[in-house]
Chains A and B, each alone.
Chain A
Amino acid sequence: GAVVSQHPSRVICKSGTSVKIECRSLDFQATTMFWYRQFPKQSLMLMATSNEGSKATYEQGVEKDKFLINHASLTLSTLTVTSAHPEDSSFYICSARYAISGRDEQYFGPGTRLTVT
């Protein structure tokens, strides 16, 4: 149980285009999902908290108009990087909150490596 998938695993796009990344909880419902980005040899930096049916909460310094988050169902959250630039190239990882039967943990997706050329 507590499996999180992410699609695509890798994407290369041209500067100025938009890219959508999907995060799915496969065997549980997640009212809360989180989006992180990770640069090489660095830690995971929280970008935003995604709550099903409501607007995402963005961390300080993260542009909400550039990183659009939609959490339309209890098993799917999407992150769209709009007007991508080379500096947006990074490893994007989602996580889903597993809060069932007294447990309250976070499980991560496999990540999406975005390269903007």
Chain B
Amino acid sequence: GENVEQHPSTLSVQEGDSAVIKCTYSDSASNYFPWYKQELGKRPQLIIDIRSNVGEKKDQRIAVTLNKTAKHFSLHITETQPEDSAVYFCAARGGYSSASKIIFGSGTRLSIRP
């Protein structure tokens, strides 16, 4: 089955700087890669996603890149702000045989230093 690895587990950046979180996946048939933000005690919130037919997607300060050949995808947050502090999860959805289930990475705890 699908396996998603995420790095780093913790990340601390100065307010205003950029943050990058990287993930790899194992199932070459995976075709959908969402990113979720989870604040303490709350539900994961979908912040951006990318499908396998594109290499990059941007939404304001957030961008995601996908390298299908290497099975890598990354989240980039620019001009970080205190409210960006949270745990971020990458995820991958497998191919048709996977019944659309989404498998999560281990998470990155992002802290923004004022």
Contacts and interface: CB of A to CB of B under 8 A. Distances in A.
Interface of A: 32, 34, 36, 42-46, 49, 51, 57, 93, 95, 97, 104-111
A32 B49 CA distance: 19
B102 A110 contact: no
Interface in B21-72: 32, 34, 36, 41-46, 49
Interface residues of B, number: 20
A113 B32 CA distance: 29
A1 to B, nearest CB: 13
A93 B43 contact: yes
B106 interface: yes
A104 B46 contact: no
Contacts of B41: 111
Contacts of B105: 43
A44 B107 CA distance: 9
B103 interface: yes
B101 interface: yes
Contacts of A36: 104
4 shortest interchain CB distances as A-B pairs = A108-B43, A44-B104, A43-B106, A110-B43
A111 B43 contact: yes
B32 A104 contact: yes
B43 A106 contact: no
